[in-house]
C-alpha cells in the first residue's frame, strides 16, 4: 500500500510542486495551508510522514511539531524553512523533527529524504531487545525509551543512532559511520554537523549531565563511542 504524506505549507506554489513530485513518486498526498489545519489533518489523515514548513501563519512549524510530540504522535517529520542558521536546525531537531531542509531545495532531494526517513521508521532497530544503563531503559523492539521511569521522546532517527552505538559498544564510530548506517551510503546532503546536532540532542535526553556525558562519549577528532 502506498505511503501517505501530509504536506503542511502556506505557499501555494511550493505546496503544489511538492505534492505533484511526491505523487509522481507513488505516494498518496494530502495538504494543509497553515499549522492549525495541519494539526487537524495529522489527526484525521494519520499520515506516514509529514513535510512541515517552519514559517507559517496561525501556528508555525515549531509549534505544530511541539504539539504533535506532546500528544505522543511519533509520525516522522521533515521540516522546511528559509532559515539556514544552525540554531534553527537544532531547535527543530530538539522538538522532534527527523530531518531538516532549507529553501530553496531540490524536489528530487526532498523525495529522497522522504524515502530515507520512511525507511528508518520502518526498520527493526536492533538485535538487542531491552538495554539498560544509568537509569535509562531502551526497548529497541517497541521503540520505547524511559529514564528513571519517565518516558523519553526519542525520534526514530535517534533510536537508529543509539542502536548503532549500543550494538558497537566501546568501538569508536566516525561521523561517516553514522551517515552510512543511518542516512545511507548514497547520501550526499547530510553534513557532519547534523550528526553532531543529533548526538547533542540524544545526550540532552539520556544523560544526567549532557555537558559531561557518561554514556555517549566524544573522541576528539574521530567521532563517538558508547559506554554502558
What is the full DSSP assignment across the chain? -PPEEEEE-S-HHHHHHHHHHHHHTT-EEEEESSHHHHHHHHHHH--SEEEEESS-SSS-HHHHHHHHHHTT----EEEEES---HHHHHHHHHTT-SEEEESS--HHHHHHHHHHHHHHHHS---S-SEEEETTEEEETTTTEEEETTEE----HHHHHHHHHHHHTTTS-EEHHHHIIIII-TT--S--HHHHHHHHHHHHHHH-SSTTS-SSEEEETTTEEEE--
pLDDT in tens, the chain (228 residues): 789 999 999 999 999 999 999 999 999 999 999 999 999 999 999 999 999 998 888 888 889 988 998 887 889 999 888 766 555 555 666 677 888 888 888 999 999 989 888 887 776 444 456 888 888 888 877 778 899 988 888 888 888 898 889 888 888 999 988 888 887 766 656 778 888 999 999 999 999 999 999 999 999 888 999 987
Answering whether pTM is above 0.75, one says no
Q: What's the sign of the alpha-carbon dihedral 22, 27, 32, 37?
A: negative
The terminus-to-terminus CA distance of the chain in angstroms comes to 40
Amino acid at each position: 500500500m502506498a505511503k501517505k504524506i501530509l504536506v503542511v505549507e502556506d505557499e501555494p506554489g511550493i505546496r503544489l510542486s511538492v505534492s505533484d513530485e511526491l505523487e509522481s513518486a507513488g505516494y498518496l498526498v494530502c495538504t494543509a495551508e497553515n499549522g492549525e489545519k495541519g494539526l487537524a489533518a495529522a489527526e484525521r489523515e494519520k499520515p506516514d510522514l509529514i513535510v512541515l514548513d517552519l514559517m507559517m501563519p496561525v501556528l508555525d512549524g515549531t509549534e505544530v511539531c511541539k504539539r504533535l510530540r506532546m500528544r505522543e504522535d511519533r509520525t516522522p517529520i521533515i521540516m522546511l524553512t528559509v532559515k539556514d542558521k544552525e540554531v534553527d536546525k537544532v531547535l527543530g531537531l530538539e522538538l522532534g523533527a527527523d530531518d531538516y531542509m532549507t529553501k530553496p531545495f531540490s524536489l528530487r532531494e526532498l523525495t529522497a529524504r522522504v524515502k530515507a526517513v520512511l525507511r528508518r521508521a520502518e526498520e527493526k532497530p536492533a538485535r538487542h531487545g531491552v538495554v539498560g544503563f544509568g537509569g535509562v531503559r531502551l526497548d529497541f523492539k517497541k521503540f520505547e525509551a524511559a529514564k528513571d521511569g519517565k518516558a523519553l521522546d526519542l525520534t526514530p532517527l535517534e533510536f537508529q543512532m543509539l542502536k548503532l552505538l549500543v550494538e558497537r559498544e566501546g568501538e569508536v564510530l566516525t561521523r561517516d559511520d553514522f551517515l552510512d548506517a543511518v542516512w545511507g551510503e548514497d547520501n550526499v546532503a547530510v553534513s557532519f554537523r547534523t550528526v553532531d546536532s543529533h548526538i547533542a540532542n540524544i545526550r540532552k535526553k539520556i544523560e544526567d549531565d549532557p555537558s559531561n556525558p557518561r554514556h555517549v562519549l566524544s573522541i576528539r577528532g574521530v567521532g563517538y563511542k558508547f559506554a554502558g
